[in-house]
Structure 1
Amino acid sequence: MPVDEMMRRWPMTIRVMIRHRMLCVGCPFGTLHTVADACREHEISEEDFVLELEAAMAG
């Protein structure tokens, strides 16, 4: 799923993106990049990042 769609479905994930200084919010590549792509581009551990996203989605 592209990060743009993820942020639209679960707006609480935006805080996680911002906390990691990821520029995905409003980025034109957000419609193409998956979480894995974004983590790779921003040199962030995908495993840890996904755990944070899941926690945010769970509320």
Structure 2
Amino acid sequence: MRRPDFDDPDLPLSELFAAWPEMVAAFLERKMLCPGCPIAPFHAITDACLEYDLDEDDFRAELEQRACGRLRDAPR
């Protein structure tokens, strides 16, 4: 089975977490409750960023780094 398209703005968080489990940490580090949330199949990254008042471009860039396995322990 192919991985979903990370750049799809409608990609449900539940599918994101299933395809890239390493991304869960980015959500939990921000105390986001999206992993395991019953709404995750209906929310996308955009929805989560709106809910938690995050800059979507910055958050997506970090998620993309995690997906590529290039995230470094950089200060926030």
Range into which the TM-score falls when normalised by the shorter chain: over 0.9
TM-score by length of 1: 0.96
Counterpart residue number, 1:47: 57
Q: How many residues align?
A: 59
Q: Supply the AA of the counterpart residue of 1:19.
A: E
Q: Percent of counterpart pairs with the same letter? A: 37
The within-5 A match list for 1:8-19 is 8-19=18-29
Name whichever structure is richer in helix by fraction: 1
Provide the C-alpha distance between the structure 2 equivalents of 1:52 and 1:3, rounded to a whole number of angstroms: 15
Q: CA RMSD in A?
A: 0.6
Higher RCO (CA 8 Å, separation ≥ 6 residues): 1
TM-score by length of 2: 0.75
Could you list the structure 1 runs, at least 4 aligned residues long, displaced by more than 4 angstroms after superposition. none
Ranges in structure 2 where 5+ consecutive residues have no aligned partner: 1-10, 70-76
